[in-house]
Structure formats: structure tokens, C-alpha cells
Amino acid sequence: MLKNAVLKQKEEKKRLLSLSYVERTKMKEAMKWLDSDLIKVVLGPRRAGKSIFSLMLLRNREFAYFNFDDESVPEENFDCDLLLQELHAAYGKTKYILFDEIQNLPRWELFVNRLHREGYNLVLTGSNANLLSKELSTALTGRHIPIEILPFDFKEFLRARQYEITPDQAVIPEKKGRLLNLLEQYMKSGGYPEIVVKNLDPKEYLSVLFDSLLFKDVVKRHKIRFSGQIDDLGSYLINNVSCRYSLRKLASVLGFKSGVTLEKYVRYLIEAYIIFSLSRYSHKAGERLISPKKTYVVDNGLIGAKAIQHSPDNGKLLENMLFIELVKKGFEPNRELFYYKTRNNREIDFVTKKGTEIIELIQIAYESKNPDTEQREIKALLEANQELKAGKLTVITWDEKKELTKEGLTINFVPVWERMMA
């Protein structure tokens, strides 16, 4: 059975390598690590392109391949030695191995650690953020490099649509109009590769994907008996993107009797790369932990697919889109990326940090040309800057670019497309 699985997957590997793909932004950085003895761990949600990214990373090497997300592969009593034997029988002598969806192998880290000690150059993919990071930090400390692959960023989306534009060309009305049209498509339908490349219906595709993510990476993995509850929770959080929540409020709204169960379910959704939870910034770690959280979704397309309202709010879509863009650019939520509330209860959408230094305060304003909106965002930024001393103050707009000086500070209004193409 295992031999047949290896040979079948070898043919699938050959087929996939023969196709052309959109170049991913992180490929150049990942290539730097390819020949190092560090284990390359490619993390991200299902269908975001982890497997293809990993295949492309290794395309100029002779490498063995095995996908643990294969229904023909037994989950219990899996024989790792037999797998290694069959891989060498199929591929010959090679020290490069790609293991796909490695988290499906019980106690996978022991097998991987052994192969690493034996000199194999390993690339792993996985769809469970916390499980992998927890096990990597214990079993593979200092011997791995994580590479996070999320759905297409905007530059990748434009490449997939074969649209090129330089900053100088953005003043040309036809070019600018086409860019804004593509940006609106991206904001509403998201960047899941199959949707973008194959022009699939995003609502139908992502509704099915959400159910699959929920079943495979949450219900099945954690043996959840009452799957309806976590489905309700996921749908509620997606429909309330960018809104603050507390566990007490969620339990009341959704009818959870146990706060402990609710907290676990939220964590499972985060682990499965369905949602992100963002803490309020405070100098005190305790206050960060107990503050209400804000929810963001891994891809804007999921908001439209699960939306109860007929048309999702553009302001919330813009905010979620920028949050995910910040994550894709390397800002880790709750360590380098937060939201903030001033002493006078004015909210700052995003605070970014590097080390101990706060580097930028960001407000999102879809309707930025409204004078009341502009004044509200400026007041919040100035007040927050007095408390946090960031210096760099930014308002992300749909398509307004200007610079204002208030109280000796410069506030930059930046179109979101410009920020995302930087």
C-alpha cells in the first residue's frame, strides 16, 4: 500500500513540476536557505500554495516527495522506516526530501529529527501553526527556518492577472483605473491562488474550503463532538471582522456554557489559519493578555463567502486587507503588531513595532475625503503619538495621497495600493 502511494505521488510530483506558476514573493528569500542544513518549514493555510511553493523551491534539485494528506496512507501504526525504504526505491539516492502536510504523521518531529541527524536536507509543509511551532521549538530548537505562505499578496495577484504598472504610470487615467478595478476585485474576492488563476467563483469555492478547513484541521484533529458550535463561532468571528470581542461576550452571544471550551475553540481557529486574534498594545504584558481582542481573517474572500449581510462593509474589508498585508510583510501579531486605545478611548487601528521600538501608527479610512473622518483620524493619531511616541503617523486610504502637518508632526495619507505595492 505504501509503495503504491509513493509511486502515485511521484507521478503527481512530475505533473505538478511541469506546470507554470505565479512567482511567490518569498521565493527569493527562501532560496537563500535551500542548501543550508536547517530544516525548511513552510507554514500556512490549506490551498494557499505551500506545496507548489515547496516544489518550486526544490525544482532544480533531485528530491523525494511524500504527501501525508493522502487518504490511502494509514494514520495509525505508520512505518517510517518502510516509508524511507520506498522513497529510496522510487527516487534512488537523494538527501533532499519534501514532506507535505507533515502534521498528519503522529510524532512526526521524532522522525524528522532523526533524518536531520542523518544528514537529510528536509523541506516540510504544515497547515497547523501552533502544533508545528510548539513541536519545532522543543524537538528542533535552532535547527529550522519557518517560511509562512499565505494566499497571494497584491503584487502576486497582479502577476497572476499579468498586469504590470510602475509608480510613474499610476498617473495615467487608464492605467490607474485598471489598477483600482483589480484592487477592488482583490479586496472583495481575496487571493487564494486557484480562485485568482482559474477565475473560479470565490463564494462557492471558499464556502467549501471553509467547511474543509473546519473539518480537517479543527473538528477531526481535535476530536470535537459538537461541530455546530465551532462552525457558529467561526462564522460569527468572520462576520464581525475587525470588531473587538471578549470571551464573556462571545459565550453570551453564542450560548457557550463553558468559557474554557470557547477559549480552546478560538485557539483552534487560529491554529488552522482561519482567523487571527489581535491584542491591544500596552507596555504591560498582563494588560495585553486581558484586553479585548480584535478578529481578522486570513483572506478577504472568506468574509464575502461567509457574510450574512448582502454586501460587506468596504471599510472593514480595507482594514482586514491591510492587516493581512502587514502579516505577509513579516509583522507578527501580538509581538510586532497591535491595535491601541488612548486614554480618551480613541482607537488606533494598527501599531507596528520592531524590537522595543514603536515604529508606526496606522489608521484606516476608506472614506478619507470626508472632513469629519479626516479630523477624527488625525485627532486619534496625535493623541496616541503623545502616549506612544511613534513619530511615523499614517492614514491608509482607498486612493488619496497627501501630506499634512499638525502640531509639528507630519501625517501621511497613503493610497492602499501604493502601500501594498511597496
**Alpha-carbon torsion 285, 290, 291, 297, what sign?**
positive
Q: What angle in degrees, to the nearest 10, is found between the helix axes of 314-328 and 173-189?
A: 90
The answer to whether residues 52 and 42 touch, using CB atoms and an 8 Å cutoff, is no
Residue 353's CATH number: 3.40.1350
Beta pairing class for 275-278 and 293-297? antiparallel
Q: What nine digits make up the cell of 274?
A: 482561519
**How many domains does the chain contain in total?**
2
Does 112 reside within a domain? yes
pLDDT at residue 170, as a whole number: 85
Determine contact, residues 144/40, Cβ cutoff 8 Å.
yes
Contacts of 143 (CB under 8 A, 6+ apart): 37, 38, 39, 116
* 239 belongs to a structural domain: no
Q: Which domain-ending residue is among 99, 127, 148?
A: 148
Q: What is the DSSP letter of 333?
A: B
* Residues of the domain holding 319: 313-422
Residue type, 417: W
Residue 342 lies in a domain: yes
What pLDDT score does 214 carry?
92
CA–CA dist 31, 384 (Å, integer): 40
CA geometry: angle at 286 spanning 280 and 287, to 5°?
35
Give domain status of residue 326, yes or no: yes
Q: Is residue 17 part of a domain?
A: yes
d(CA 254, CA 230): 10
Residue 310 backbone phi and psi in degrees, to 5: -65, -40
Residue by residue, DSSP assigns 240-280 as TTT-EE-HHHHHHHHT-S-HHHHHHHHHHHHHTTSEEEEPB
**pLDDT tens by residue, 200-210:** 999 999 999 99
User: Which helix (H) or strand (E) covers residue 321, if one does?
Assistant: helix 314-328
Q: Tell me what pLDDT residue 284 has.
A: 87
Partners of 40 in the β-ladder = 123, 145
In the Cβ-directed half-sphere of 239, how many Cα atoms lie within 13 Å? 13
Q: Supply the pLDDT for residue 134.
A: 63
pLDDT per position as a tens digit, 119-174:
999 999 998 876 666 666 676 766 889 899 999 999 999 999 999 998 788 889 99
pLDDT by residue (tens digit) across 344-361?
A: 999 999 999 999 899 999
Q: How many residues in total does the chain contain? A: 422
Mean pLDDT per 10-residue section of the chain, whose length is 422 residues: 94 96 96 94 95 97 95 84 96 96 88 93 88 65 87 97 88 93 97 96 95 91 89 95 94 92 95 95 87 96 86 90 97 96 97 95 94 94 96 95 95 96 90
370 phi and psi, to 5 degrees? -75, 120
Residue pair 155/50 in contact by the 8 Å Cβ criterion: no
Residue 332 lies in a domain: yes
pLDDT recorded at residue 77: 83
Query: What phi, psi does 415 have (nearest 5°)?
Result: -60, 140
CATH code for position 55:
3.40.50.300
Domain boundary at 83, 115, 148, which?
A: 148
Return the sign of the alpha-carbon dihedral for residues 225, 226, 230, 235.
Answer: positive
Does 200 fall in a domain? Answer: no
Residue 348 lies in a domain: yes
| Residue appearing with cell numbers 513552510 | 42
pLDDT at residue 132 in the model: 62
What pLDDT was estimated at residue 264? Answer: 95
Last residue of a domain, one of 122, 148, 174: 148
